[in-house]
Structure 1
Amino acid sequence: MGRSTVAVIGCGPSGLATLKNLLEEDFDATAFDKRHSIGGVWEYNENVNYTSTLPTTVSNVSKYKNCFTDFPVPDDMPAYLSASQVSDYLKSYAQHFDLYPHIRLNTEVRKVARDADNTKWRLYLSSEKGEEIFDFDKVVFCSGLTALRCVPDIEGIQQFAGKVIHSQAFKHPNDFAGMKVLVVGLGNSAVDTCTELVGLAEKVYVSHRNGINIFPRHCKGKPLDFHIRRRDEAIKHALTAVAPGLSKTLHDRYVQRLTKESFNLDPAWRIHPPPSILTHQPTISDSFVSCLHDGTISSVDGICRFRNENDVELVDGSVIAVDAVIFCTGYSPDFEIFAGQDLTSDPTTSEHHDLGHDRGYTLPFTRLYQNIFPPEYSDSIAFLNNWAFTVGAFPIADLASMAIAQVWRGAFSLPSRVDMDHEIDASHLWLRSLAKDDSVYPGIVPEGPWLHWLHKAAGTGVNEKLGYGLQGWLFWFRHPRFCNLLMGGLASVHTFRLFDGRRKKWQGAKEAILRANDNAKQYIDRH
C-alpha cells in the first residue's frame, strides 16, 4: 500500500521533532513553514504578525531540561541559551538528522480540508511558486502555542490617541524611547517587555490584576529546574492522585517559598499571593524585581477604561497618562486553517467558559483527546499546539510526537471514539473546576496522568523502569547507583530514549545522562 504521507505544519521545535520522529518510523513526511527559516519563535522575524523572540531574549528553561531527547545541547554553551543560540541548536538538529530535504520554507498552508472522496487531507498552499494543492494521508499541526494574539476589548480604547500594540508586534524597543508606556500583563512576555524598555522609555508601568510565581534563572546557586527531581515529581503525582487539594497546597507553598527566598517582594506590588503553579506557568526574570525596587518599573492595578486621548483609569480609581500601551495578554492556538471542522465546541454546554476572565477575553474548550487527537479523525489528524506545560517544550514535543508516530503506525491503540469523547468531557469538567477560583489556560493538562499516557503511547519504558512496580524494583536491584541517579539527580530528558521500547532507543542516552549530571556538579558543588 506504500508509505503513509504526512504533512507537518510548522518548523519550530515541535514541527522539527515531529518531522524527525515520523521519518524515523518510515512515514513519508514533509514539513511546511511560511517563514524563511526554521526555528519558529526562536528565529527573530521583523513581521509584526509573526511571534518571535527578540535578539536579546534568553531561554527561561536550562539547556539540561529544554533539549531534544537524543540531541544534547553542546557542553560549551551556557546553562541558559540566548535566542540566537537556541536557533543555532535547532538548525544543528535539523542538519544532524537530515531534515532539510523534507522541509519547504516560505510556504504557507492556507487551508486544510477533506478531499472530495473523504479519503485524504487536501492542503492549499501559497508560495513563490504560486498557489498549490497537495493531498496527504495525515496532518500534524505544529503551529505553536503563540499563533493568534488575544487582545481584550476595553471600554474607550477607540479614543486613545497613543500607540497600541500586542507583544507579538513588539520588535523594536527603541520605538518607545522617551514615551510613558503601559505594559498590560504579568507573564513572561510582560516582564521581558518591561525590562527591555527600561533605559529607553521615560516611564514604564506594568498593569495587572493578579499575582505571579516569579523566579530568577538561578535559584540557590543553581539553575531553577535543578530543584525538580524525578523522585519529587513521582511523589507529587502520586499525592495528587489520592489527595489533589493537599498536593496543590504543599506544592504551591514550596514554590512560593522559593520566590520569597530569591526576591524581596514589596506587598504594594501585589505579586503575591500568586495563582497555583499547577495551573499557571511561572514567570522567569533576573532583573524585573530589581527594576520594581529602583522605580524604573512601577506596578499598577488593572485597566478599567480609557478616559480620553492619553488617560487610562485603573481598577483602583487612579488615573495615569501614557503615550503607548502594549498588551502582553497571551495567545490562542490556531485552528482556523482546519476548514470545516469545529474543534472548539463543547456539547455539554451551550456557552464557552471564561477561563481567562481576569484578562478580559474568553477562550473556548477544544475537543481533543489528550489535547492532541480529534476523536473523529484520530487516525489522521494531530495537534501539537494545544497544551500548556510548566517545563521545557522541546522534550515534551519530542515525546508527544513519538506517541503520535506509534499510534499512527498501529503499535499503540487509542480508545473508541465514544470513550475518547467521555474522557474529553471529564477533562472539561476538571478545567471548569479549576476555573471556578482562578483563570486557567484551556490547554492546561493534568501533568502526572498526561505524561504517563505519553510515555505509555510512545513506549519509552519510563513508566515501568522508573515506577514502583515489579520492573521498577528489578531495574533498581540490577542498577542501584544508576537508578538512584535517575531518580535523585538531574532529571535528564535523555531518559526518554534510554530504555528498550517501541520508539527508537538512543544508544548514547546513558552517556548523555551521566555527562549532564557531571556537568551539573559545578552548580551543586558551588552552592
Structure 2
Amino acid sequence: MGRPTVAVIGCGPFGLATLKNLLEEDFDATAFDKRHSIGGVWEFNENVNYTSTLPTTVSNVSKYKSCFTDFPVPDDMPVFLSASQVSDYLKSYAQNFDLYRHIRFNTEVRKVERDADNTKWQLYLSGEKGEEVIDYDKVVFCSGLTALSRVPNIEGIQQFAGKVIHSQAFKHPSDFAGMKVLVVGLGNSAVDTCTELVGFAEKVYVSHRHGMNIFPRYCKGKPLDFHIRRRDEAIKHALAAIAPGLSKKLHDMYVQRLTKESFNLDPAWRIHPPPSILTHQPTISDSFVDCLQDGSISSVVGIRRFRNGNGVELVDGSVIAVDAVIFGTGYLPDFGIFAGQDLTSDPKTSEHGDLGYDWGYRLPFPRLYQNIFPPEYSDSIAFLNNWAFAVGTFPIADLASMAIAQVWRGTFALPSREDMDREIDVNHLWLRSLAKEESVYPAIVPEGPWLHWLHKAAGTGVNENLGYGLQGWLFWFRNPRFCNLLMGGVASVHTFRLFDGRRKKWQGAKDAILRANDNAKLYIEKH
C-alpha cells in the first residue's frame, strides 16, 4: 500500500507541529504555504489580506507555555518573546526536525475536493510551478485561528467618509498620524491596535459593548501563566464536571480578582463586569489601562450607526467625529477551500437559539467531532483551525496533531459516525446554553473534557500518571517530589512527552521540566 500521503495546509505553528508529528509516525507528509516563509501570523507581512503580528508585538504567553512539547525555548530568550523571536524559534524548530525539505512555499491551495472515484483528495494548487492538481490520501487544514477577518454590517457604513479597515489590515500605526481613530472591540487585536496608535493618532477611542477579563503579562510579581498550576486545573475540571454552574462562578470570581489586583479600573471604562472566562478569551496588555488613565485612549459605548461624513452615532445617542474606524472584531476559521462540503449546522434554524452576536451577526456551527474531524471523512480530513481557550496555542497544536497522527495510524479508534454526530449535537447544545447569557465564540471548547480526550487519543500517559486513579497514585508513590513538582510547579508542556505512550516519548522531557522550574524559581526570586 505504501506510506499514506498527507497534505498539510499552512506553515504556522499548527502546520509545523502537524508536519513534524505526521513525519514522525511515518506518513508521507508535505506542507504548503502561500507565503514565502514559515511562521504564519508571527512573520510580519505587508499584505493587508494576511493576518500577521506587528514588529512590536510581544507574546501574551510565557515561553514556558508557548513552546512545542519537545523543543524548549532557549534559556537566553526572555520570558515573553517578541514577534521576531517567536519567528526565529519556529525556524529553529523546522531546522531541528528537518522540516524544510517537506515544505512548498509560495504555493496557494485554492481548492480541496474529492476525486471522481471517492478515494483521494485533490489539491488545486497555484504557485511557482504554475497550476497543479495533486492527489493526497489525507489533508490537515492548518490555516490558523485568524484566517478571515470578521466585520459587522452596521447601518450607514457605506456612507462613512473616513477610512474603514479591519485590524488584519493594520500594519503601520504611522499611517494614522494626526487622525482621530475609533477602534471597535476589546479583545487582544483591538487593544493592541489602540496602544500601537498612541503617539501617532491625534485621538484614539475604543468602542465596546461589554467588558473583558484583562490582565498584564506579569501578575503578583510573576508571569501570568505561572498562576495556572496543573493541580488547580485538575480541581477546576473535576468541579466543572460535577457542578458546572458553581465551577464557572468560582473561576470567574478568581480571574476577576486577579484583574482588580493588577489594575485600578475606573467604572466609567466599563471593563468590568466582563463576560465569563469560559466563553471569551482574556485580553493581555501591559499598557492599555495606563492609556485609559492618562486619557490617550478614551472608552466609549458601542456603535449604533454611521452618519454621512465622519460622524459615528453611539448607542447612548452621542456622536463623535473620526477620520478612521478600525474593527478589532475578531476572526473566523477558513473552511472555504474545502469544496462542495457543507460542514455547518446553522443555529438560526435550531430551536435552541443562536450565538447572540452584536449587530445581529450570526455564525453557523462547524460540525466537527472534537472540533477536529468531520464525521463523514474522519479517516482522511482534519481541521486545526477551530478551537479556542486561554492557553498557549503551540503545545495544543502539538498535542492535537499527535492525536490526529494516532487516529490515522489506527492506534486509537474514533466512535461510529452516528456517535460522533450525537456528540457534536451535545457540544452545540452546550454552546447554545452558554449563549443564553452572553455572546459566545463558536470555537470555544469545554476545556477539561477536550484536553482529556486529546491526551487519550495521542497516548501521552498524562491522564493516567497525573490522574487520581491507581496508576496516578503509583506514580506519586514512586516519585513523590517530582510528581508534586509536576502538579504544583510550572505547568510545563514537556510533560506531554514525559511518559511512555503511543506518541513518541522525548528523553529530554524530565530535564526540560526541571530546568523550567529552576529558571522560574530564579526569576521569581530576582523580581
Same fold (TM over 0.5): yes
SS of match in other structure, 1:292: helix
* In the alignment, structure 1 residue 32 sits paired with structure 2 residue 32: yes
Offset of 1:521 from its aligned partner? 0.5
SS of match in other structure, 2:344: coil
CA distance in structure 2 between the partners assigned to 1:360 and 1:333 by the alignment: 19
CA distance in structure 2 between the partners assigned to 1:327 and 1:407 by the alignment: 39
* In the alignment, structure 1 residue 358 sits paired with structure 2 residue 355: no
Map of 2:199 onto structure 1: 199
Offset of 1:355 from its aligned partner? 2.0
Q: Do the aligned partners of residues 32 and 356 (structure 1) sit closer, same or farther apart at CA in structure 2, a change above 3 Å counting?
A: farther
Map of 2:500 onto structure 1: 500
SS of match in other structure, 2:94: helix
TM-score (norm 2): 0.99
Offset of 1:308 from its aligned partner? 1.5
Task: List runs of 5+ in structure 2 lacking aligned partners.
Answer: none
Offset of 1:523 from its aligned partner? 3.3
* In the alignment, structure 1 residue 460 sits paired with structure 2 residue 466: no
Map of 1:370 onto structure 2: 370
Map of 2:517 onto structure 1: 517
Amino acid at match of 2:37: S
Map of 2:44 onto structure 1: 44
Map of 1:19 onto structure 2: 19
* In the alignment, structure 1 residue 113 sits paired with structure 2 residue 132: no
Query: Would the aligned equivalents of 1:495 and 1:513 in 2 still touch at CA under 8 Å?
Result: yes
- Deviation by residue 1:107-164 (Cα, 9 ceiling, x = unmatched): 0000000001100000000002210010000000000011111100011111111000
SS of match in other structure, 2:414: coil
CA distance in structure 2 between the partners assigned to 1:438 and 1:20 by the alignment: 39
SS of match in other structure, 1:305: strand
CA distance in structure 1 between the partners assigned to 2:372 and 2:339 by the alignment: 17
- Deviation by residue 1:159-215 (Cα, 9 ceiling, x = unmatched): 111000000000111110000000000000011000000010000000000000000
Task: List runs of 5+ in structure 1 lacking aligned partners.
Answer: none
Map of 1:94 onto structure 2: 94
TM-score (norm 1): 0.99
Query: Would the aligned equivalents of 2:347 and 2:364 in 1 still touch at CA under 8 Å?
Result: no
Offset of 1:524 from its aligned partner? 3.0
Offset of 1:425 from its aligned partner? 0.3
Offset of 1:449 from its aligned partner? 0.3
CA distance in structure 2 between the partners assigned to 1:20 and 1:359 by the alignment: 42
Amino acid at match of 2:81: L
CA distance in structure 2 between the partners assigned to 1:348 and 1:133 by the alignment: 37
Offset of 1:307 from its aligned partner? 1.5
SS of match in other structure, 1:38: coil
Written as runs of structure 1 = structure 2, the 5 A alignment for 1:362-511 is 362-511=362-511
Map of 2:239 onto structure 1: 239
What is the total number of aligned residue pairs between the two structures? Answer: 527
Map of 2:10 onto structure 1: 10
Deviates more, 1:340-349 or 1:368-377: 340-349
SS of match in other structure, 1:265: coil
Offset of 1:350 from its aligned partner? 5.2
- Deviation by residue 1:45-97 (Cα, 9 ceiling, x = unmatched): 00000000000000000000010000000000000000000000000000000
Deviates more, 1:341-350 or 1:474-483: 341-350
Q: Do the aligned partners of residues 428 and 157 (structure 1) sit closer, same or farther apart at CA in structure 2, a change above 3 Å counting?
A: same
Calculate the aligned-residue CA RMSD, in Å.
1.2
Amino acid at match of 1:260: K
Identical-pair percentage? 88
SS of match in other structure, 2:366: coil
Query: Would the aligned equivalents of 2:348 and 2:354 in 1 still touch at CA under 8 Å?
Result: no
CA distance in structure 2 between the partners assigned to 1:107 and 1:351 by the alignment: 43
Q: Do the aligned partners of residues 82 and 347 (structure 1) sit closer, same or farther apart at CA in structure 2, a change above 3 Å counting?
A: closer
- Deviation by residue 1:271-311 (Cα, 9 ceiling, x = unmatched): 00000111110000000000000000000000000122111
Query: Would the aligned equivalents of 2:352 and 2:429 in 1 still touch at CA under 8 Å?
Result: no
- Deviation by residue 1:16-55 (Cα, 9 ceiling, x = unmatched): 0000000000000000000111000000000000000000
CA distance in structure 1 between the partners assigned to 2:187 and 2:61 by the alignment: 15
Runs of 4+ in 1 over 6 A off after TM superposition: none
CA distance in structure 2 between the partners assigned to 1:103 and 1:482 by the alignment: 39
CA distance in structure 1 between the partners assigned to 2:156 and 2:352 by the alignment: 25
